[in-house]
Structure 1
Amino acid sequence: MSTSPPPRLSRLPSLDQLRSHLHPSDIQGLAQLATRGTLGITELVEKVQGNVYKAVAAPFGPAGKKFVDREAGASGVRKRGITGLVYGSVKGVTRLAGGAVDAVLSRVVPRLAAPASSPQREALLAALNGVLGDQLQDSANPLAIDMSLRHEGQPLLLDKAALAQRLPGATGKILVLVHGLCMNDLQWGAAGLQDDEDYGRQLAHEFGYTPVYLHYNTGLHTSVNGGQLAALLEQLLQAWPQEVEALSLLTHSMGGLVARSACHSAAAGGLQWLGRLKHLVFLGTPHHGAPLEKVGNWVDTVLGSNPVTRPFAKIAQIRSAGITDLRHGHVLPADWQDADRFAAAPDNRQPLPLPAGVACFAVAATRGAVPATDGTARTPLLEEVLGDGLVPLSSALGQHADPARDLAFSPDRQWIAVETGHIALLHSAPVYQQLRRWLG
């Protein structure tokens, strides 16, 4: 084990700088979000006021009920009262104005040529999709990211001739890098690596891999993304311009859950790429969940337990399906289907072992300087729980008290980076040295 240098922190762009990076379609998408946000806040305030009315009116029995709208699904504010008319007017005007803006932009946007994207724009879209991605997709918002395989930030056309032109040096060793929540393919950045190169380029130079990068909407359920990735990898191998010797997946955080789900989908669908999969590497993957999402679920429960504060629980429940999947580490559709993803519930995941016949490796990290456990010593509890700041050590190493859920990485296929945070796993020189040992 070793330490990694602290990640470089880029200065957040100003509002004026941000405007210069936006495309016309982005403005249309943000306008749609602003309309929905205004409506959501108005409805929230209305529900809070209505619940206060209900609480105050309850002791007065039938007399108090006259002042409260008690219809099923109603906020409690009477629609024909002055307050109800105010809320109705605000929502009506917002819908009218939002619809008018969207109609104008719908006519204008197709006529405007979009400039080349920038890292700042890609980071903004990735963050929005991580938090709201399922809602963006459901509302057909132009900000929603469609899954693609990319090279140098541009989508790859999965056609043999097109790939041969875009990747003239393609070899038979394919390396697919899968990013995590709220991230994008450009953020495999290289703060600690030689010549500012990411893991993919380094492995290409040293061992002849050809790296391609997944770009996807991290706000969708991990199993949805897993199914899409499985289909995309099948297309990639069929269109690859060289005979494929081996396929390797290098994943970070949520990306590891997506990859495991993709392997399950490939096995269920009889896809050929799974037979070519040689390596599967997990960097800080929350195989058994992440504490922050468990805290979010606890906040949902506390706020929802009181009639007055219950509407505020809706604010916390804006978070995407991808985020709530991180509570326990969902990878299968059965893990979340027919269930309220915001309800407090035990871990009812179906066990899913690592794919058979694939060399699987796990890198965990701790912000402390604690040596790795060797079977005779235990990692202090604080270091175990904190882990890399987001994922506990045991979760990243796939360890579980239930033998059916324990991923059982062999000792030589797991490694702990010390004094390293979750994001630093993306650009750590010591982590890269470990990757060299496994993938070289």
Structure 2
Amino acid sequence: MTPRKPQPTRDALLRHVRPSDLQAAVRLATQATTGVIGVAEGVHQAVRQRLGLPAGTEPDRTGGLTGQIYQGIRGVTQLVGHGLDSALASLLPLVDDPANHPEPSPGREAVLAALNGVLGDRLQATGNPLAQAMELRLAGRRLPLESASLMRERLAGASPHLIVLLHGLCMNDTQWLRNGHDHGAFLAQALGATPVYLRYNSGLHTSTNGREFARQLEWLVSQWPVPLTTITLVGHSMGGLVARAAVDEAQRSQHRWRARLQHLVFLGTPHHGAPLERAGHGVDVLLAATPFTAPFTRLGQLRSAGITDLRHGHVRDADWQGRERFGSALDHREPLPLPEGVACMAVGATLAPQRGLLADRLTGDGLVPLRSALGQHDDPRHRLVFPREGQRTVYRTGHLELLSSPVVAQQLLQWLQPPTPGLHD
């Protein structure tokens, strides 16, 4: 007789799936169904227009009896969705206590990070429980910025050198650990520094995340238990743009931490955009070219504000405010140079074995072109002037491999290692 497999415990299940996920899934399903209905009606109306039949209240809505049927289906979907949402909102507090939840599994956190990267702005706008709140984290746990006493307890033994690491799109702070290596832990041991990791909703605008990060870092610095002599920001991919946005915000708001910022390090950051998002915009344009495919542009336009910011590397509010995110493909950014008084360094990667036109402009690290990662631009106003000794190109290396590359680790250590006293006397 085959022995029965042991059943997973409640805590084991809760590490992967939470009861509130059901409510979040209902909201997403309702929004997705409504969107599909809209696409179907848009295609239907495109056919009707070719037959000379009138539209409804909007150009992509059908009129007459057909329009009433679509409106009825849409209404029933909303009614069922709101009903289920209200019922779950009443029921969940009776059967679930978030305070007793076990630590989430890495798999769950990776899925949530990816979902927030793609739909994070919509999740936040609709109050979806899956929306990721920004957190500063130490040793895998959130730093309780709301409690000064708990902060002092968590920061006991902190170093005068603070390193903050900012992850990229669709990722989270736990993913700095890759193939057994974590740049933060490595640098902490080598430099005697304290590594703090930022977790954020990468589907929000880069400038929005930068502003909130600047605010939280200001509070963290005010609670630091020893005098801070050095702050280093290390950003991977989108994290580098968030770091630049935070420094710009700190400059305008006169945050105290800005004076302690000594190093700003970028790993594969798309300073001037990434071709995949520009390709996504091109698909939008192609779909919009005919009335029969135009309704399908709604599917592509589900992608988040964070993703569309990567088209040209938006950092400030002015880069996107007052413009339709899926409209013009032109670069409307105002030039933003690297901050003064800060040692800025950039690592760019390429899958190619050596430098060349293909490696520089096309291949890159698989996601970010080498020129974009190194701040190079055809327009001199947009060029980011990194010192020669503050640039490093690594070959046969992909975008995510930057996180585990021993070459990158040693380069970071060389850049951040304080000078030996008397060496140049």
When the two structures are superposed, what TM-score results if normalisation uses the length of structure 2? 0.91
Q: Tell me what 2:402 maps to.
A: 425
Q: Tell me what 2:158 maps to.
A: 170
Structure 1 residues 112-131: aligned runs within 5 Å: 112-114=96-98, 115=101, 116-131=103-118
1:331 counterpart = 2:326: no
1:311 counterpart = 2:284: no
Q: Tell me what 1:99 maps to.
A: 82
Residues 162 and 20 (structure 1), Cα distance of their counterparts in 2 relative to 1, 3 Å cut: closer
1:212 counterpart = 2:207: no
Q: Is contact 2:56-2:67 (8 Å) kept?
A: no
Q: Secondary structure at the match of 1:150?
A: strand
Q: Where does structure 1 differ by over 6 angstroms across 4 or more consecutive aligned residues?
A: 17-20
Q: Is contact 2:319-2:334 (8 Å) kept?
A: yes
Bigger relative contact order (CA 8 A; separation at least 6): 1
**Cα distance between partner residues in 1 of 2:83 and 2:317:** 39
**Cα distance between partner residues in 2 of 1:20 and 1:356:** 45
Q: Is contact 1:164-1:170 (8 Å) kept?
A: no
Structure 1 residues 393-432: aligned runs within 5 Å: 393-432=370-409
Q: Tell me what 2:176 maps to.
A: 188
Give the drift of 1:409. 0.5
Q: Is contact 1:53-1:76 (8 Å) kept?
A: no
Q: Secondary structure at the match of 1:94?
A: helix
Structure 1 residues 22-421: aligned runs within 5 Å: 22-57=17-52, 65=53, 68-71=54-57, 73-78=58-63, 80-81=64-65, 83-111=66-94, 112-114=96-98, 115=101, 116-158=103-145, 159-191=147-179, 196-371=180-355, 379-421=356-398
Q: Which moved more, 1:153-162 or 1:349-358?
A: 153-162
**Cα distance between partner residues in 2 of 1:53 and 1:434:** 62
**Cα distance between partner residues in 2 of 1:359 and 1:45:** 54
Give the drift of 1:258. 0.7
Give the drift of 1:316. 0.5
Q: Secondary structure at the match of 2:232?
A: strand
Which of 406, 415, 418 lines up with 1:438 in the alignment? 415
**Cα distance between partner residues in 2 of 1:113 and 1:165:** 26
Residues 70 and 157 (structure 1), Cα distance of their counterparts in 2 relative to 1, 3 Å cut: closer
| Matched-pair identity in % | 49
Q: Which moved more, 1:89-98 or 1:208-217?
A: 89-98
Q: Is contact 1:160-1:240 (8 Å) kept?
A: no
Give the drift of 1:86. 3.5
Task: In structure 1, list runs of 5 or more residues that go unmatched.
Answer: 1-16, 58-64, 372-378
**Cα distance between partner residues in 2 of 1:221 and 1:174:** 26
Residues 118 and 20 (structure 1), Cα distance of their counterparts in 2 relative to 1, 3 Å cut: closer
Give the drift of 1:85. 4.1
Residues 197 and 424 (structure 1), Cα distance of their counterparts in 2 relative to 1, 3 Å cut: closer
**Cα distance between partner residues in 1 of 2:134 and 2:153:** 21
Give the drift of 1:160. 4.3
| Counterpart amino acid of residue 281 in structure 2 | N
Q: Is contact 2:301-2:326 (8 Å) kept?
A: yes
Give the drift of 1:382. 4.6
**Cα distance between partner residues in 1 of 2:149 and 2:284:** 51
1:179-214 Cα deviation digits (max 9, x unpaired): 0100000100231xxxx2411111111111101110
**Cα distance between partner residues in 2 of 1:367 and 1:110:** 51
Q: Which moved more, 1:113-122 or 1:47-56?
A: 113-122
Q: Which moved more, 1:381-390 or 1:223-232?
A: 381-390
Q: Secondary structure at the match of 1:404?
A: helix
Task: In structure 2, list runs of 5 or more residues that go unmatched.
Answer: 1-11, 418-425
Q: Tell me what 1:11 maps to.
A: none
Question: In the comparison of the two structures, how many residue pairs are matched?
Answer: 401
Give the alignment's Cα RMSD to 1 decimal.
1.7
Give the drift of 1:20. 6.2
| Counterpart amino acid of residue 376 in structure 2 | Q
**Cα distance between partner residues in 1 of 2:14 and 2:163:** 35
Q: Tell me what 2:9 maps to.
A: none
Give the drift of 1:401. 2.0
Residues 404 and 214 (structure 1), Cα distance of their counterparts in 2 relative to 1, 3 Å cut: same
**Cα distance between partner residues in 2 of 1:247 and 1:417:** 25
Give the drift of 1:90. 2.3
1:312-347 Cα deviation digits (max 9, x unpaired): 111111001110010001101111111111113311
**Cα distance between partner residues in 1 of 2:360 and 2:263:** 28
| Counterpart amino acid of residue 90 in structure 2 | R
Residues 39 and 202 (structure 1), Cα distance of their counterparts in 2 relative to 1, 3 Å cut: same
Give the drift of 1:96. 1.8
Q: Secondary structure at the match of 2:51?
A: helix
